[in-house]
Chains A and B, each alone.
Chain A
Amino acid sequence: NAGVTQTPKFQVLKTGQSMTLQCAQDMNHEYMSWYRQDPGMGLRLIHYSVGAGITDQGEVPNGYNVSRSTTEDFPLRLLSAAPSQTSVYFCASSVDSVMYFGPGTRLTVT
């Protein structure tokens, strides 16, 4: 099992550009989520999904969209990048509350 995979590992965007962070898992987990990690702020939930076709907002959803068309994939879209979205983004999947994180994407918005 590859577990949870994320691409890209690093990305630099200019303000106003859009992009999609990819996340996939091969563990057949129904629950998937996206967190951002900023220094001193811990892990803050952006969006989550309890299964294909179902998504919901977390603590900091503004500026991000998600969709869940399959159990395996949960992409995160930045609609119009802003410097405040500079962060490390972690995708995770879980079963019975036990959460497994992907390796993260380090995003810089200039």
Chain B
Amino acid sequence: GENVEQHPSTLSVQEGDSAVIKCTYSDSASNYFPWYKQELGKRPQLIIDIRSNVGEKKDQRIAVTLNKTAKHFSLHITETQPEDSAVYFCAASFSGNTPLVFGKGTRLSVIA
């Protein structure tokens, strides 16, 4: 089955700097790659996703890149702010009716 590895497990950045979180997946058939943000005590919430027919997607300060050949995808957050501090999870799946497999998460701390 699918296996998703996520790095780093913790990341501290200065406010205004960029943050990058990387994930690799094992199943070359996977074609959907979402990123979730989880604040303390809250549910995970989808912040951006990418499907295998595109290589990059942006939404304001966040972007995701996908390299299907290397089987890895990354989350980029620019101009970080204290409210970006949270745990971020990457995930992968093959289709709408197959399970979403999550990475173990990255705890991002943005230092003011």
Which of A's residues lie within 8 Å of B, judged by CB? Answer: 30-31, 33, 35, 40-45, 48, 50, 58, 90, 94-104
Q: Mark B1-23, 1 if CB is under 8 A from A, else 0.
A: 00000100100000000000000
Report whether A90 and B44 are in contact in the complex, using a CB–CB cutoff of 8 Å: yes
Least CB separation from A103: chain B residue: B43
Least CB separation from B49: chain A residue: A98
Report whether A94 and B100 are in contact in the complex, using a CB–CB cutoff of 8 Å: yes
Report whether A94 and B43 are in contact in the complex, using a CB–CB cutoff of 8 Å: no
Cβ contacts under 8 Å, B6 to chain A: 42
Within 8 A of A (CB), among B37-89: 42-46, 49, 89
Interface residue SS majority, chain B: loop
Interface residue SS majority, chain A: strand
Report whether A31 and B97 are in contact in the complex, using a CB–CB cutoff of 8 Å: yes
The contact sample of 15 A-B pairs, CB cut-off 8 A, is: A35-B102, A40-B104, A42-B89, A42-B102, A43-B89, A44-B102, A45-B99, A45-B101, A50-B97, A90-B44, A96-B96, A97-B96, A98-B46, A99-B46, A101-B43
Q: A42-B103, A98-B49 are in contact. Are A31 and B44 (CB under 8 A)?
A: no
Cβ contacts under 8 Å, B34 to chain A: 97-99
Report whether B100 and A99 are in contact in the complex, using a CB–CB cutoff of 8 Å: yes
Cβ contacts under 8 Å, A94 to chain B: 96, 100
Cβ contacts under 8 Å, A96 to chain B: 96
Cβ contacts under 8 Å, A90 to chain B: 43-44
Least CB separation from B31: chain A residue: A97
